[in-house]
Amino acid sequence: MASTIYLFSPVSTIGRIVDRWTGGLGFSHAVIRTESGTWIDCTPKKGVHVIDPAERNYRVRPSGRVEIEGAAGAYVDHCAESFVGNQYSDAHNCGSWIVKALPPALESWVEDCAARWRIPISPNALAVAFGVDTDASAVEVAGTGGL
């Protein structure tokens, strides 16, 4: 099993606005599912917190995913779990905290891709960096080699 970043398509007007504002690539929200099966989310009111995906209808939302394996996945899990309880300012979003949970080489890769595409760090920036599109595809990242 791997640490998995889920990128969700918008299902509300606010989600569609977020998607358009961050590049219009089809994603408006992101969460992490750790290797142990814990789902971690970040929302403006609750900050970073553990969720039950069934309560948020995440299992039925159109999504893409990035699977991060091996030592890189363990790094993501450790960071994501350590962020639980953190509150973020308006300058942060569900994508930015996930980028901060990535190993340094992957974090830089996402930031570079966002800069090249001229989009903010967001679920859409994660999609660009890892080659995910809105057809519910999965991309496996087996570490940081090659980035």
The whole-angstrom separation of Cα 64 and Cα 119 is: 19
Rounded Cα–Cα distance for residues 1 and 123 (Å): 22
Name the pLDDT band for 140 (thresholds 50, 70, 90). very low
pLDDT of 26-78, one tens digit each?
999 999 999 999 999 998 888 899 998 777 666 667 788 899 999 999 999 99
Distances (CA, A) of 111 to 50, 61, 82, 122, 142: 25, 26, 22, 10, 19
